[in-house]
Amino acid sequence: MKSRPVRLRARTAAADQLTVRRHNLSVVLSQLRDRGPRSRARLAEETGLNKATVSSLVAELVDRGLAGEGEAERATVGRPGQPIRLDGEHVVAVGAEVNIDYLSVLVLNLRGDVVSEKRLALDTARMEPALVLARLGRLLGHALKGLAKNDIRPVGMTIAVPGLVGVGTGIVHEAPNLGWTDVAVVAEIRRILGDPPYPVILDNEANLAALAEIEGQGPDRSADLILLSGAVGIGGGVIAGGQLLRGASGFAGEVGHMRVRAGGPPCGCGRQGCWEAAVGLNALLAAAAPEHDPVRDPSLDVEKRLAEISNRARSGDPRVLDALTEIAHWLAVGAGILVNVFNPRLLVLGGYFAALSPWIAGSLHDELRLHVFAGDAGGTRVTFSTLGFSASARGGASQVLDHVFQDPTLVEPVGGHHPVAQEESV
């Protein structure tokens, strides 16, 4: 009768040791990501763990392919230190995006290197959801075959879609610009790929782009940031204290449907005066070019179309320049509302806003100050994304890899089982 509690306590103690071990592995791996290569002694000093524990943790991270040893450092006293660096070259995640005029797939490794990337120009709004997902499945299948040739299996996959998505259900509830309602994206992609053994996650494209931008802040991931993605629709991702703001039902950030222009043009959602109807890509193209101009053809690559708009602006095309001035005005109106509400440290403009930033930035900065109550725009700094149209796919892959940093035991060891030693906590 007395032996059962003893066994339960033993199991609890072992479970506690596993939890502490995972936490300590995460601390060391995150330190390598944020601070770069460093010796075991330095890791012990920075993390507060003893040297024996750090050596054991490093050995396990190396065995899991998450860390590696560099060349010995020259030391003035004693033996040279052996720097430990972040590895994870063969630990990858897949990010994919469905947007109005393209599909994209990006593979990212733990070090943040892009392993492969493919974007396909496609007028998805004119296609049935099943056909769009079939095309996406082919793109994903091609990327996965490339990984399999090198004996690499992803740790997970994230699919980005513009609109109201159920992260837990994998269903796109409403995506007006795509014309999708209650589309079971994750279930269909899993079926197409043969039910892969890793998680497949669905998320909003602007949320994922915001996560990609916060990753770009390096060790300082606690910033307050708003990401505005400029495409046919306007998405918003809000980062508060380093955490993505999802809202009560997971639909936070649908800023494109703020009503900013009474009597403005109709929006794809069926309402009138929405922000994205004033500053979305279609609004720009309609103002900048006649109806049958190739820059308005959604079946052509969006970056090539924007490059042509840039060329026309550079050559002084008055219609294009007037259109860009109008876009900057309404962009400042909506951005001013967001800055007044959230007071972010950074306002990051992505998508087509970044591609055309030389002709938007000046007017936007000037007008934003007029629309923000606090002086100097509340201290908000406006920047333009450098990630191009890869931001959402990259953010999706980064989100998966972040789970590895939180729990490195998700990656199987190469050299076998690691027993749980008596572990100190930090």
Please report how many Cα atoms fall inside a 13 Å half-sphere around the Cα of residue 349, on the Cβ side: 25
DSSP 112: S
Same fold, 92-208+391-406 and 210-388: yes
Q: Which residues pair with 105 in a beta bridge?
A: 96, 118
Average pLDDT for the chain: 89
* pTM for this prediction: 0.86
Q: What is the pLDDT of residues 162-213, one digit of tens each?
A: 999 999 999 999 999 999 999 999 999 999 999 999 999 999 999 999 999 9
Domain map (residue ranges) of the chain: 3-87, 92-208+391-406, 210-388
Q: Which fold has domain 92-208+391-406?
A: Nucleotidyltransferase; domain 5 (3.30.420)
DSSP assignment of 157-199: EEEEESSEEETTTTEEEEETTTTEEEEEHHHHHHHHTT--SS-
Q: What is the pLDDT of residues 252-309, one digit of tens each?
A: 888 999 999 888 888 888 889 999 999 999 999 999 999 999 999 988 899 999 999 9
Please report, as a single letter, which amino acid is at residue 210: A
DSSP 111: T
Q: Which fold has domain 3-87?
A: Arc Repressor Mutant, subunit A (1.10.10)
Q: Looking at domain 210-388, which CATH architecture does it have?
A: 2-Layer Sandwich (3.30)
Measured in degrees and rounded to the nearest 5, phi and psi for residue 408 equal -60, -15
Which residues in 176-266 belong to E strands, given as ranges?
Answer: 180-184, 200-204, 225-230, 234-240, 243-244
Q: What is the pLDDT of residues 85-122, one digit of tens each?
A: 999 889 999 999 999 999 999 999 999 999 999 999 99
**What is the Cα–Cα distance from 140 to 106, expressed in whole angstroms?**
9
pLDDT band, residue 16 (cuts 50/70/90) = confident
Q: What is the pLDDT of residues 66-85, one digit of tens each?
A: 999 877 666 555 555 689 99
All residues at 6 or more sequence positions from 197 whose CB lies less than 8 Å from its CB, including other chains: 153
Which pLDDT value is given to residue 417?
52
How far is C-alpha 88 from the geometric centre of its chain's CA atoms? 19
68: part of which helix (H) or strand (E)?
Answer: strand 67-69
